[in-house]
Amino acid sequence: MFIKGIVFRIESKDIYILPDNSDEVIRASLRGKFKKDFHLKKDKQYITDIVVVGDRVGFELNKDGTGIIEKIDKRKNYLSRKAPRLKGASYRGERLEQIIASNIDKLIIVASVYDPSFNNKTIDRFLVAAESSSIKPVIVINKIDLDDDNRIKDFASLYSDIGYSTILTSCINMQNIEEVKNLLEGNVSILWGQSGVGKSSLLNLIYPGLNLETGEVSVSTSKGKHTTVTVSMHKINEDTFIVDTPGIREIDPYGIKKEDLSHYFIDFLPFINNCKYNTCTHNHEPLCAVEEAVINGFISEERYDSYLRLLDTIEDDILF
């Protein structure tokens, strides 16, 4: 029988496991059989593709107290993105999938009113990433204390009208901080958003013990500007975890075909089966029910515009 645990942190090639039955994190490596798999997919270069933060694993203890991973449970879901271009990848310009974390209950998309300026296109991209990974997204718009002209409320209702929970917060006057806490409790969550929107500030208010660094921190590891991806978890209590992904700010959804993109725009779903052509990409094809819904005001122009832009950027990904 293997000891069970959760992959808690990955730093370069070191894997750290939090066992179910103790709070002592164990450094572990993978049994060689997994690595064989790894070599087959050499172009993926990231060890995180075999085991990622959030994975449930079975492991054995070595005499020196380190662990060896024998079994990786099937993932409920996982969040991935197009990997940044790798030096020396043998493919010409195509981009590979990078898995960031698995078994996530909530993707909390954090944006801010100003500084950095509010950008609904970015939110829409995150929403596609969440929907295509089967992770429940929630939208938090922070720094609402800076919304002097009440511009953001309309955007917020755009999202709440189509069914997304949308919370307006301020770390300055403590607005709706408790609501965000309620979202996190009992879940494995990832907070995602541009640098500077206030993710660390929010978490520090909710869980003062975390003591996260705030401010315009540019992330570079002690090893310099190497493309090492470090992902780690914070354990808040027995069933509340926060996945931290410093240095991963951008997310280009991976592996979505043009004709499938509209499946991840939940406000389009009632219409997509009524288009004349079942391969319709809703990009000015004749008799498109989505375009008609935009004209008739059932789908917002903002969202449709986001959709068209994303459609434009979708490349033909490599699928293994």
Interface residues with ligand GDP (CB under 6 A) are: 142-143, 145-146, 170-172, 193, 195-201, 214-215
82 or 282: whose CB is closer to Zn ion?
282
Smallest gap from residue 259 Cβ to ligand GDP (A): 35
For residue 17, state whether it binds Zn ion (rule: CB under 5 A).
no
Return d(Cα 154, Cα 78) in angstroms, integer: 31
Count Cβ atoms below 10 Å from residue 158 Cβ, excluding itself.
17
Residue 282 contact among Zn ion, ligand GDP, none, beta carbon within 5 to 8 Å by kind = Zn ion
User: Using the rule CB under 5 A, which residue among 69, 184, 197, 288 binds Zn ion?
Assistant: 288
Smallest gap from residue 288 Cβ to ligand GDP (A): 38
66 or 204: whose CB is closer to ligand GDP?
204
Return d(Cα 83, Cα 255) in angstroms, integer: 11
CA 124 and chain centroid, separation: 13
Interface residues for Zn ion in 253-282 (CB under 5 A)? 275, 280, 282
Return d(Cα 2, Cα 137) in angstroms, integer: 34
Return d(Cα 209, Cα 54) in angstroms, integer: 22
Smallest gap from residue 2 Cβ to ligand GDP (A): 36
Residue 275 contact among Zn ion, ligand GDP, none, beta carbon within 5 to 8 Å by kind = Zn ion
The answer to whether the beta carbons of residues 53 and 9 sit under 8 Å apart is yes
Smallest gap from residue 168 Cβ to ligand GDP (A): 10
145 or 292: whose CB is closer to ligand GDP?
145
214 or 283: whose CB is closer to ligand GDP?
214
Alpha-helix residue ranges (DSSP H) falling in the chain:
32-40, 120-132, 152-161, 177-184, 199-206, 269-272, 289-295, 301-313
Smallest gap from residue 268 Cβ to ligand GDP (A): 30
Return d(Cα 54, Cα 57) in angstroms, integer: 9
Instruction: Considering only CA atoms, give the Rg of the chain.
Output: 21
Smallest gap from residue 268 Cβ to Zn ion (A): 9
* CB neighbour class for 59 (10 Å; exposed up to 12, middle 13-18, buried from 19): buried
For residue 290, state whether it binds Zn ion (rule: CB under 5 A).
yes
User: Where do contacts with Zn ion occur on this chain (CB under 5 A)?
Assistant: 275, 280, 282, 288, 290
